[in-house]
Structure formats: C-alpha cells, structure tokens
C-alpha cells in the first residue's frame, strides 16, 4: 500500500482490525482472538502485504458487527508477529504496537475495512537533549516512575521485575506507553492515554491515573487484610474446638460443656410432653455438635431459651366469688339487669372455664355489654 507524506506526519492505508475491550499501545505485545469474518479477512490481507494492520478499539464492546461510528478514531499501527488458526475456525494472533495513528477515512474492500491514517512525527529523539536539561520534565518522569513502583508494590499480579523494564527508558513518551501497557485499567481509560498525543500530556494523565489506582489498591489491601484476619480467627477457633472434641473423645469423656449441661438440667426440671421433650433433646444434641461461633448455634440457643422459659406444669388457682362479682357488676353497671343476669348464669354454670369456650364467651360478654351501654367498663378481675 502506497503512502502519501506531508510535512509533519505520514498518511497511509492499512487493513483495520476492530478490537473489543482491548487497547494496544506502541511497544506493547498482546495476543488477540479473532473470529469475525471481516477481521479474519483483514488479517489475511495484512499477511499478504507487510504484516502491518491498524488495531482500533470499539466504543461499545458488545457490538457484534461494528461500523465506522462504533470505533475510536485513534488506534495503533501493529505488526503481526504470530498467527495460529484454531480448529474452531478462530485465529489467535500476536501483534506488537508500533505507533499511534489517527483514522482519517474508511474504505470497504470486500468484507473488511481498510483505513487511511495519519501518524505523528516523533519529536522525542530530537528533543532528548532539551528534555534532559528540563527540571520540570525530570521531576515529572521521577514522579511517574515512583508512582509506578508503588503500583507494582500494591498489585500482587505484577512481579517486582516489572519496574526494571521501565526505569532505563529515556524517551518520555515510550516510558508512558510501556507503563500504561502494564496497568490493569478499563479500556476506556486506556483509550484516553492512547489519545494523548503529546508525551507531556500523556505523562500527566498517566500520573493522575496511577494516583487513583494506588488509592484503590490500598483500600483493597485493607479490606483483604480485615477479611483474612477474620477468616484466620474463625479457622483458629474452629480448629481449637475440633481439637478439644478429639481430646475428649480420646479420653472417653462425656464431652459436654457447661452450656449443654445447663440446658439438660433445665429440661429435667420440667415434665414436658413427650414430643416436646424429644424435640428439645434433639436441639441440645445439635447445639453440642455445632461450632459455638456459628450463626446456627445462636438460633438454637434462642430457641432453647424461649422453650425452657415457658411456664411448663405451672397452674394458677382461680378463686370465683359470685357475691363479689354481683357487687362489682351493680357498682360499675347501672341497670342492665338482663345482661347481668346472663353473666351471672354464665359464672354459675362454669362453662366459661372450658378452654374451647373461653374465646366465645369473652366475645359474647364484650358484644352484649357494648350493645347495651356505650360507656361500659369491664368488671374488675
């Protein structure tokens, strides 16, 4: 493919490979899995020419068949280093980023897109002497390297040797690209770095991103420490309890602690119905086998406390004084002779004491009294 040149940049045409969720930086070697027909055809065209292809990220990685409006305009010219066709028809390709490129025009060729692009003149080598003498730039470079060292320290996924690969890089733009390729960022943040054409702008953007990422990693590390500490404490307590159980079994002891004995003694104090006794004993045995710190143990304890605190086998003697009831009714309820006569008959019959009839008679008395007297007061107990 022929190239047209102007004063500050080069305009060329290359096949286009749209990537989903992946941004390729210059100097970066990255594997890509390619399956779309247009992408496969673009790769085949690149292999027939100079093995160069433009990789541009999609704005929305969920789009299956992107058109030109779905792609970012700044991408990377890459060189295909390795291409392997997989049995399922997909292609695994390894590309290396060469330089940034801005897409000027899309041209559809057969099933794939070719793009006219412009590249940016590398002024770093020409400015290297001035850069070395610029105190602001040197301070910026040191800050970026120091922050990257902190990032590697807090990120368990990056080996410490990663820092060694960047500290000796002299070109500021290349330093920024190499560091950016090691960061675990969302592709939109990576695209923001890729679109920073000026190396100074790129370094400042990178420094800002590093500061935010380090703060996030610190918070993650604190959370992991707290979780790990709690898990270790729980495991330690569980281990010790299991060890105590094993020792008791070895010594052929009963193995019941004070809490279990307390519940068994309290159960023996009552004469519960057979089914109730059986259920309580089951819960006590379950509590004995359950680790004391588990939420289930708390539920069992609450159940046992509730059941064993009920007034089992405790009866209250009721004293029924008909004369006193008559006196109270006459004092509190003037007239209403018919109602009071019905109430006396009810007391004399004793039917109200039947457990199945108590709710009915309570309702009946309340209904009759309210019906005959709006301001009625219920009799004293």
Q: Give the number of residues written for the chain.
A: 381
Residues 6+ apart with CB under 8 A from 200: 137, 140, 172
8-22, 121-135, 294-308, range with the lowest pLDDT: 121-135
pLDDT attached to residue 93: 93
- pLDDT of 333 strictly over 90: no
How do beta strands 74-85 and 4-5 pair?
Answer: unpaired
Q: Above pLDDT 70, what percent of the chain?
A: 77
Q: What is the mean pLDDT of residues 105-121?
A: 85
pLDDT of residue 68: 87
Whole-angstrom distance between the N-terminal and C-terminal Cα of the chain? 107
Do 351 and 361 contact (CB within 8 A), yes or no? yes
The token pair that represents 86 in the structure block: 């997989």
Question: Is pLDDT above 60 for 103?
Answer: yes
Q: Tell me the pLDDT band of 371, cut-offs 50, 70 and 90.
A: very low
How far is residue 191 CA from its own chain's centroid?
26
Q: What average pLDDT does range 150-154 have in this prediction? A: 91
Mean pLDDT value across the chain: 79
Three-class secondary structure of residue 102 per DSSP = strand
Q: What are phi and psi of 138, to 5 degrees?
A: -65, -40
Q: Is the dihedral of CA 159, 160, 165, 166 positive or negative?
A: positive
The β-bridge partners of 112 are 109
pLDDT at 7: 45
Please give the structure tokens belonging to residue 341: 């006569």
Tens of pLDDT, residue by residue over 17-49, are 999 989 999 989 999 999 888 888 999 889 988
Q: Which of 80, 61, 78 is nearest to 117 (CA)?
A: 78
Considering the four listed CATH numbers 1.20.58.1480, 1.10.30.50, 1.10.260.40, 2.70.150.10, the one that applies to the domain covering 127-220 is 1.20.58.1480
In this prediction, residues 2-28 reach a mean pLDDT of: 74
Instruction: Look at residue 349 in the predicted model and tell me its pLDDT.
Output: 65
Q: Which of 61, 50, 96, 54 is nearest to 76 (CA)?
A: 54
pLDDT tens profile 315-326: 666 666 667 767
Q: pLDDT tens digits for 233-257?
A: 888 878 887 777 777 666 545 556 7
Kindly tell me the number of DSSP H helices and DSSP E strands found in the chain: 13, 7
Residues 6+ apart with CB under 8 A from 172: 124, 131, 137, 140, 141, 199, 200, 202, 203
231-245, 306-320, 341-355: which range is least confident on average?
A: 341-355
Of the candidates 31, 57, 33, 53, the one whose C-alpha atom is nearest the C-alpha of residue 42 is: 53
Cβ contacts of residue 197 below 8 Å, gap of 6+?
Answer: 100, 120
For residue 72, how many other CB atoms are within 10 A of its CB?
19
Res 353 pLDDT > 70: no
Beta bridge partners of 211: none
Domain limits of the chain? 4-119, 127-220, 258-308, 322-372
- pLDDT tens digits, one per residue of 195-223: 988 888 889 999 999 999 999 999 988 88
Question: pLDDT of 174-183, one tens digit each?
Answer: 889 999 988 9
pLDDT of residue 67: 87
User: 16 and 115 in contact (C-beta within 8 Å)?
Assistant: yes
Q: What mean pLDDT do residues 130-149 have?
A: 81
Give all strands (DSSP E) within the chain, no chain letters: 4-5, 10-19, 29-34, 52-57, 74-85, 91-109, 112-119
- Distance, CA of 25 to CA of 297 (rounded, Å): 56
Look at residue 362 in the predicted model and tell me its pLDDT: 53
The β-bridge relationship of strands 52-57 and 10-19 is parallel
Task: Give the other-Cβ count within 10 Å of 245's Cβ.
Answer: 13
For 4-119, CATH gives 2.30.130.40
Is pLDDT above 80 for 372? no
pLDDT number for residue 376: 41
Name the DSSP letter for residue 317: P
| pTM, 2 dp | 0.56
């Amino acid at each position: 493919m022929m190239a047209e040149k102007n004063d500050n940049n080069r305009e060329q045409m290359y096949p286009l490979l749209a990537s989903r969720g992946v941004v390729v930086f210059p100097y970066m070697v990255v594997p890509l899995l390619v399956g779309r027909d247009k992408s496969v055809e673009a790769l085949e065209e690149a292999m027939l020419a100079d093995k160069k292809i433009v990789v541009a990220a999609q704005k929305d990685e969920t789009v299956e068949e992107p058109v030109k409006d779905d792609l970012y305009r700044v991408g990377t010219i890459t060189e295909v280093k390795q291409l392997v066709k997989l049995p399922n028809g997909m292609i695994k390709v390894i590309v290396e980023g060469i330089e940034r490129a801005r897409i000027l025009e899309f041209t559809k060729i057969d099933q794939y897109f070719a793009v006219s692009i412009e590249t940016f003149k590398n002024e770093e080598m020409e400015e290297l002497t001035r850069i070395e003498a610029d105190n602001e730039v040197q301070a910026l470079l040191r800050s970026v390297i120091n922050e990257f060292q902190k990032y590697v320290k807090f990120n368990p996924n990056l080996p410490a040797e990663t820092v060694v690969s960047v500290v000796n890089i002299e070109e500021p733009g290349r330093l920024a690209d190499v560091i950016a390729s090691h960061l675990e960022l969302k592709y939109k943040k990576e695209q923001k770095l890729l679109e920073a054409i000026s190396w100074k702008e790129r370094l400042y953007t990178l420094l800002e991103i590093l500061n935010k990422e380090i703060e996030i990693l610190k918070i993650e590390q604190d959370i992991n420490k707290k979780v790990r500490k709690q898990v270790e404490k729980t495991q330690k307590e569980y281990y010790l309890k299991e060890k105590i159980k094993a020792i008791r079994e070895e010594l052929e002891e009963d193995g019941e602690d004070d809490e279990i004995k307390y519940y068994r003694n309290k159960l023996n104090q009552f004469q519960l119905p057979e089914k109730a006794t059986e259920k309580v004993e089951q819960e006590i045995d379950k509590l004995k086998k359950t680790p004391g710190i588990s939420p289930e143990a708390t539920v069992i304890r609450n159940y046992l406390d509730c059941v064993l605190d009920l007034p089992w086998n405790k009866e209250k003697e009721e004293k029924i004084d008909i004369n006193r009831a008559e006196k109270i009714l006459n004092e509190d309820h003037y007239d209403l002779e018919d109602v009071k006569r019905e109430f006396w008959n009810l007391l004399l019959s004793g039917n109200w004491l039947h457990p199945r009839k108590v709710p009915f008679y309570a309702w009946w008395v309340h209904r009759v009294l309210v019906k005959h007297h709006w301001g009625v007061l219920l009799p004293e107990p």
